[in-house]
Structure formats: structure tokens, C-alpha cells
Amino acid sequence: MAVNASTDLDTLADFFDRYGVALTSGDLPAIAGCYALPGLVVADTYSFSFTSPAAVALSFVGAAPDYQDRELIAAHARIEDVQAVSALLTMVAVEWEFLDSQGQAVPGERYRYLLRISDEGPVICTVVRTG
């Protein structure tokens, strides 16, 4: 199902809301469910791919304790830019904003996500850390 322009931003916002909850709660199966397989993560000094839900989960297994150590209890994706790449591929620029246990906003990182729109909704094909 292709997403039309009127629901596109809502669909993306809902997707990143679910992804943010999964990240901060350490819900590894939910995180894995947000990715197309194979998936790719690219940063300045490294890249890695995963070909199974277990590999996705393993790559995020350290993230939840890190969020807990920093007392980050919520993540919000501020969508900065959306570019249609093809009928089913969309590049989305996101700045993550976190909330700590004191209710204070904590600045997060910026990423670009290449998403594929599937029948079940968006899935992440590639993540690029941009800052």
C-alpha cells in the first residue's frame, strides 16, 4: 500500500514514535520489527549490516542499558525532512530528542533513514548517523 501525501507525515510520525518507545524500553523484538532485512547502519567510522531479526536485536542489546544509565525515559523523533526516492522508498531526516527522568529535554543525535513502505507500514532499510 503506497502512502498518500496527506497521511505520509502522520504515518512516519507514528512509525518513529513506535521505534522510539522500543529503543528506550529495550524492546528488542519491536526494534527488529522496524527493520527491513537485510538492513544497513552507516556511520563516519564504521558500517554494519544485519540479515536476521536476531542480528538486529544483538546490535541494539547495549542501547537500552545506555538509555537507562543516562535516565532517558522517552524518545521523540523530530522529522526535519522527507524526500520521496521512489514510489516505495522515502529518505527521512530525523533529530532525536530525549526526555530524562526529571522531565528535562536532552538533545539527541541526527540520523537519516531510508524507509521502504510495505503493506505493514514503513521499515528501515538503511540508517546513516549524520550528527
Interior CA angle at 50 toward 31 and 119, to 5°? 55
Mean pLDDT of the chain: 86
Residue 118 has pLDDT above 90, yes or no: no
Rounded Cα gap, residues 59 and 35, in angstroms: 12
**Segments forming the whole domain that contains residue 32:** 5-129
Residue 10 belongs to domain with CATH number = 3.10.450.50
pLDDT score for 1 = 39
Q: How confident is the model at residue 66 (pLDDT cuts 50, 70, 90)?
A: confident
Specify the pTM. Answer: 0.85
Q: Where are the beta strands (DSSP E) in 34-71?
A: 35-42, 47-50
Q: Specify the number of domains making up the chain.
A: 1
pLDDT score for 2 = 45
Mean pLDDT confidence for 34-60: 90
